[in-house]
Amino acid sequence: MRKIAEKTTGRTRWLRALGLFTVGAIGTAAAISSVVIPLSSILIKPKLKRLHQLRSPLLERFLKKKGYDFRSVSFRSYDGKLLHGWWSLKNPERPTIIVLHGVNGNRTSVIRFAMTLSQSGFNVLLFDWRAHGESEGDYVTYGYHERRDVLAAIDFLKQEFNIDADRIGLLGLSMGAAIALQVAALNKTVKAVWADSPFASLLRISTEVATRVTGLPASIMSPLAKATFKVAGYRAGFDPTLVNPAEFARKIRCPVVLVHGTDDELIPFNHSQIIYDELCSIEKELWIIEGAMHTTCFRKGGECYRQRLVDFFNRAFLH
């Protein structure tokens, strides 16, 4: 009887321990889920900005008054998503630059880049990414799906406006810069890239931002970021680990200029340094602008920025 009682007591303790472990595991999983799911939403469904500028007729009137001939266009991406943008055609034989905005924004975020290029005689397209502005789509994937949006834009311009397929360049800002680099690595149609404030990898910048905001060490934030990535990837149908511009840089052969501000509070300028070091392109340049914060290089650089931008694309398409 004593042995039976000891066995029963031992089994009871084991079951109690198992029960506590299970409850703890469920509680931990629930706690993690309560953090990871909202974080994944922030990542793939960010709050959009500048919508009132896009919907205001004032900008369109301003552009016309200044002599810019941007017209509204729309095209479908590979998966049927309808994307909206503005197009300025100078001459089909002139180079065409596609201008790519950052996360949260829309085509109005990069209108001054487009105006500078258009004024200098380039054909210019700027459009709202999927899940941004007036374009269709539910999730942001930082290049995984968006790079095919760029390819759809190129096909649209070739078919509708007969542009010179050998004279296409990309200008990107922030996320747009990271996507421009990914596209250039995969499609040799792109002959030049101007990348302003890109991130080196999505996992890296997400972990850095989360560490900065929460004050928690990277040893804690890194596994949390990876868990968030898995949930975000499942929800939006993409693999976040493959959004890695620094790795893509090894496959780029066209001329590239990387621009970054020393005071960038969102994406530190060492991200551009990492990308620069990985670039295999013979013609590559890293321009660090002292005192510029995130996406303010254009304003901080002033006339020097505008002139260097135009000169870069003119040199790239001299032939």
Task: Let me know if 64 is exposed, middle or buried by CB neighbors in 10 A (0-12, 13-18, 19+).
Answer: exposed
Q: CATH fold of 50-201+243-316, please?
A: Rossmann fold (3.40.50)
State how far Cα 305 lies from the chain centre.
Answer: 22
Whole-model pTM: value is 0.88
Q: What are 239-254's pLDDT values in tens digits? A: 999 999 999 999 999 9
Interstrand relation of 284-289 and 168-173 (parallel, antiparallel or unpaired): unpaired
Rounded to the nearest 10 degrees, how much is the dihedral formed by the CA atoms of 204, 298, 83, 198?
-10
Q: Provide the total of helices (H) and of strands (E) in the chain, helices listed first.
A: 11, 8
Give yes or no for residue 31 having a pLDDT over 50: no
As a whole number, mean pLDDT of residues 31-42 equals 76
pLDDT tens digit string along 86-118?
999 999 999 999 999 999 999 999 999 999 999
Strand 71-76 to strand 82-88: parallel, antiparallel, or no bridges (unpaired)? antiparallel
Spans of all domains in the chain: 1-44+202-236, 50-201+243-316
Whether residue 36 is predicted with pLDDT greater than 70 in this model: the reply is yes
pLDDT category of residue 279 using cuts at 50, 70 and 90: very high
- In whole angstroms, what is the distance from residue 83 CA to residue 54 CA? 14
For residue range 37-55, what is the model confidence (pLDDT) as tens digits?
A: 888 899 999 999 988 888 8
Q: Do β-strands 256-261 and 190-196 pair in parallel, antiparallel, or remain unpaired?
A: parallel
Task: Select from 238, 210, 213 the least CA-distant residue to 225.
Answer: 210
Which has the closest alpha carbon to 252: 195, 166, 191?
Answer: 191
The 10s digit of each residue's pLDDT in 176-213 is 999 999 999 999 999 999 999 999 999 999 889 888 88
- Cα dihedral angle (46, 141, 128, 137), rounded to 10 degrees? -80
